Amino acid sequence: MVDVAKAAGVSLATVSAAVNGSAPVSAALKGRIHKAIRQVGYKTNAIARSLKTGTTSTIGLMVADITNPFFTTTIHAIQELAHRHGYGVMLCCSDEDADKERMHLRLLADRMVDGFIVASAGETPELRALVEGGRTPVVLIDRLVDGLETDAVVIDNVAATRDAVRHLAAAGHRRIGLITGRRTLSTGRERYEGYRQALEEAGIAFEPALVGSARFGADDGYKAAAKLLSLADRPTAIFACNNLSGIGLMRAIHDAGLRCPDDIAVACFDDFDWANVFHPRLTTVAQPTQAIGVQAMLLLLERLKDATARALPPRVVRLKAELRVRDSSVRPAR
Amino acid sequence: MVDVAKAAGVSLATVSAAVNGSAPVSAALKGRIHKAIRQVGYKTNAIARSLKTGTTSTIGLMVADITNPFFTTTIHAIQELAHRHGYGVMLCCSDEDADKERMHLRLLADRMVDGFIVASAGETPELRALVEGGRTPVVLIDRLVDGLETDAVVIDNVAATRDAVRHLAAAGHRRIGLITGRRTLSTGRERYEGYRQALEEAGIAFEPALVGSARFGADDGYKAAAKLLSLADRPTAIFACNNLSGIGLMRAIHDAGLRCPDDIAVACFDDFDWANVFHPRLTTVAQPTQAIGVQAMLLLLERLKDATARALPPRVVRLKAELRVRDSSVRPAR
DNA sequence: TTGTACGCGTTATCAC
DNA sequence: GTGATAACGCGTACAA
């Protein structure tokens, strides 16, 4: 920049003012300066600017599983919006591991990101300190964390699961199995609660044996499903609480020599492109993945751009998910 | 840091030396300093360090479509390795749009990332300048860019497509359709070439009418497929050059009232979790997505860590993809 | 080993 | 409208 100033025959301060529009500069000088910029091949150094201004125009995005199509669409929406507002996105993935999460949170804090969007894999001191410190805005997505008072965008998991299980019950199923996710996550707890509510509504007694738990991934889902399917009095319908356990469930059904939906009805959380293409076409709970990302980024942008908004009390946005009934949950007429 | 020095009763330089290990510091002092660090709540300011050292410990990762499971696994591998080596990852997504790509490339350059990994949506002056400038190492993934002499990790698309189409031909198909991607991409051209080679091998005449083009996404794939299927003398097998057009293809087959593989055999590029679960189980060309990410990051790390390695000539790593034959390409015995 | 002074590229605050 | 100058927080060379 000092080179530009020299080349244009003006002072450093004037160049800065011209580049940032922070002070009025005469048109003539502006022209000379911009010409000099091109001549010298000057590029603004964001690092130096950050050091001075204390802002990096970068946000930290922390998700639990980047491989999951659910997060993928959300990430995409966040990025789009962030870039439109001049923010870069530094992405980290905890792989559902709280220890990794705290490491990455530290990495992001060191890099002085201006704000965080996080789908937490579990409460950590780092996350709590971040929120309670109040220096950097944090928006939670997908999962709430107990006692963390900060902005968040989640869906109504209780209602979503209740709807899905109610749909199964309405189709005449009385033995409805559940494959839950981790109970340490708010999503896991809420979806479990939705299941129980739907059973109660339908006057079906809760049976612990019909609830399997898949903490991680498709393999866990497979095992949990296989166990349910090997029950003497096996369920006639199963709801899987995320798309990974849904994969495991479908594989287990296939391996057990059963057919879906003829022998067993299936519905699961999280819709994806292929769900509507293959057989059986899968009944899913579709989350508004895009809207989650957009909302989260909007909340964050408010806190970032507007100094007065930083003092606002935490806002929790709860979006609705949509049940998409397809073939897998509906027994064909005989 | 100056506060830490005060609290520990030592000089600034000693603190810096203790933190960075750049000079020997007595154990006693080290203890005192670390205690002071905790007391003051000192966090190293990466911005200031970057300004001084000229490195940011951050790499820029630019992909064409973050929603695509193919990229997703690769991104994951890159991140994992990057974090292990103390690098942050700034992610950008061009949405297959060259203009967006140049914007994001500029954003990343402004942020002074230490290196780039890029799946380019098309050649841009920015990308070329970056590579030719030689100041920041660039590793291309998935797609080569004509005339860009830099490190790259790609797969052998010609062989992969040839294998797949050869498999179709070996099953007795003589009218084999193709749904290509964008010809401006090296992947599109190479896969097309593999198709032609396989036909020639099998002594099948090339028919332009059997080649559909899907530039973007599943909808384009649907249209291209629908056109092929409506041909008077329609193909008995179709190969789709990516997973998005594969979705479109399967949907088109369904909507045309045809069954796969009974009426039409299908294979497509890119494997994914669900391919093996639903019916028809899809025959795919599985890319070594994880290995692509690992290799790319390793190449980049070499250039980053080792000053002498920066002068090395460009290295192109070509990995092999694997044909996974499942049900969709095999006509059941009657 | 330690202290000091300087520079990295900007921006902000003054004076002119 | 414009120019000089002091920070921002850290690394480092050099002198003690």
- Over chain A, what is the mean pLDDT? 95
Contact criterion met (CB below 8 Å) for A212 and A178: yes
Structure token digits, residue A189: 């707890």
- According to CATH, what is the number of the domain A2-44? 1.10.260.40
Residue A103: per-residue pLDDT: 94
Residue A88: per-residue pLDDT: 97
Q: How far apart are CA B54 and CA B113, in angstroms?
A: 10
Q: How far apart are CA B226 and CA B30, in angstroms?
A: 71
Label the pairing between strands B322-324 and B283-286.
Answer: antiparallel
Inspect the interface and report whether the beta carbons of A278 and B276 lie closer than 8 Å.
no
Inspect the interface and report whether the beta carbons of B73 and A50 lie closer than 8 Å.
no
CA distance A185 to chain B (A): 22
Probe site for chain A from B76, B244, B273 (most A CB atoms < 10 A) = B273
Residues of A in contact with B221 (CB under 8 A): none
Structure token digits, residue B131: 């590579």
Each residue's pLDDT tens digit, B211-262: 999 987 889 999 999 999 999 999 999 999 998 999 999 999 999 999 999 9
CB atoms within 10 A of CB B227: 16
pLDDT reading at A129 higher than 70 = yes
Residue B334: per-residue pLDDT: 59
Amino acid identity, position A153: V
Q: How far apart are CA A301 and CA A85, in angstroms?
A: 8
Is B19 in the A-facing interface, judged by CB distances under 8 Å? no
CB atoms within 10 A of CB B137: 23
Which residue in the block uniquely carries the two structure tokens 């091998």?
Answer: B201
Residues of A in contact with B80 (CB under 8 A): 93
Q: How far apart are CA A19 and CA A13, in angstroms?
A: 10
Q: How many residues does chain B have?
A: 334
Distance in Å from C10's C1' to A172's CA comes to 69
Inspect the interface and report whether the beta carbons of A83 and B43 lie closer than 8 Å.
no
The string over B79-95, giving b where at least 16 C-beta atoms fall within 10 Å of a residue's C-beta and e elsewhere, is: bbbbbeeebbbbbbbbb
CB atoms within 10 A of CB B24: 8
pLDDT reading at A128 higher than 90 = yes
Q: How far apart are CA B262 and CA A40, in angstroms?
A: 66
Each residue's pLDDT tens digit, A3-53: 999 999 999 999 999 999 888 999 999 999 999 999 999 999 999 999 999
Q: Could you give the percent of chain A with pLDDT greater than 90?
A: 90
Q: Where are the domains of chain B?
A: 2-44, 57-155+289-321, 157-287+323-329
Does A261 sit behind a cis peptide bond, omega within 30 degrees of 0 on the bond before it? yes
Probe site for chain B from A38, A106, A111 (most B CB atoms < 10 A) = A111
Inspect the interface and report whether the beta carbons of B73 and A79 lie closer than 8 Å.
no
Structure token digits, residue A241: 């609480």
Residues of A in contact with B83 (CB under 8 A): 92, 103-104, 107
Residue A331: per-residue pLDDT: 82
Q: How far apart are CA B179 and CA B255, in angstroms?
A: 17
Better-predicted residue by pLDDT, B167 or A306: B167
B93 closest CB neighbour out of A79, A110, A277 = A79
Inspect the interface and report whether the beta carbons of B43 and A247 lie closer than 8 Å.
no
Residue B266: per-residue pLDDT: 97
Is B293 in the A-facing interface, judged by CB distances under 8 Å? no
pLDDT reading at A306 higher than 90 = no
In sequence order, which residues have a C-beta less than 8 Å from that of residue A224 and are 6 or more positions away?
A: A179, A212, A213, A214, A245, A248
> How much is the average pLDDT of B189-205?
98
* Residues 149-208 (B) with a CB less than 8 A from some CB of A: none
Residue A334: per-residue pLDDT: 60
Contact criterion met (CB below 8 Å) for B218 and A273: yes
Q: How far apart are CA B134 and CA B122, in angstroms?
A: 20
Largest separation between any pair of C-alpha atoms in chain B? 88
Residue B273: per-residue pLDDT: 87
pLDDT reading at B48 higher than 80 = yes
Each residue's pLDDT tens digit, A91-117: 999 999 999 999 999 999 999 999 999
HSE toward the beta carbon, residue A229, CA cutoff 13 A = 25
Among the residue ranges B81-85, B102-106, B330-334, the one predicted with the least confidence is: B330-334
Residue B85: per-residue pLDDT: 96
Residue B11: per-residue pLDDT: 87
Inspect the interface and report whether the beta carbons of B90 and A92 lie closer than 8 Å.
no
Distance in Å from D5's C1' to A54's CA comes to 20
Q: Which of 3.40.50.2300, 4.10.110.10, 3.40.50.300, 3.30.70.890 would CATH assign to domain B157-287+323-329?
A: 3.40.50.2300
Each residue's pLDDT tens digit, A63-73: 999 999 999 99
Considering only CA atoms, name the residue closest to the C1' of nucleotide C1: B25
**B169 — pLDDT class (breaks 50, 70, 90):** very high
Q: How far apart are CA B188 and CA B184, in angstroms?
A: 7
Which residue in the block uniquely carries the two structure tokens 């292990």?
Answer: B84
pLDDT reading at B80 higher than 70 = yes
CB atoms within 10 A of CB A48: 15
Amino acid identity, position B61: L
SS (H, E, C) B54-104: CCCCEEEEEECCCCCHHHHHHHHHHHHHHHHCCCEEEEEECCCCHHHHHHH
Nearest nucleotide (C1') to the CA of residue A49?
C10
pLDDT reading at B196 higher than 80 = yes
Instruction: For residue A52, count CB atoms less than 10 angstroms from its CB and return exposed for 0-12, middle for 13-18, buried for 19 or more.
Output: exposed
Q: Which of 3.30.70.1450, 2.60.120.10, 3.40.50.2300, 3.30.390.30 would CATH assign to domain A57-155+289-321?
A: 3.40.50.2300
Each residue's pLDDT tens digit, A182-212: 999 999 999 999 999 999 999 999 999 999 9
Angle between helices B125-133 and B98-110 (to 10 degrees): 40
Determine whether the distance from the CB of B22 to the nearest atom of strand D is below 7 Å.
yes
DSSP class of B68:
S
Question: Do the domains at B2-44 and B57-155+289-321 have one common CATH topology?
Answer: no
- Over chain B, what is the mean pLDDT? 94
Considering only CA atoms, name the residue closest to the C1' of nucleotide D5: A13
Determine whether the distance from the CB of A298 to the nearest atom of strand D is below 7 Å.
no
pTM to 2 decimal places: 0.95
pLDDT reading at A286 higher than 90 = yes
Residue B332: per-residue pLDDT: 76
B90 closest CB neighbour out of A50, A72, A88 = A88
In chain D, which nucleotides are within 7 Å of a protein Cβ? 1-14
Q: How far apart are CA A243 and CA A221, in angstroms?
A: 10
Residue B308: per-residue pLDDT: 86
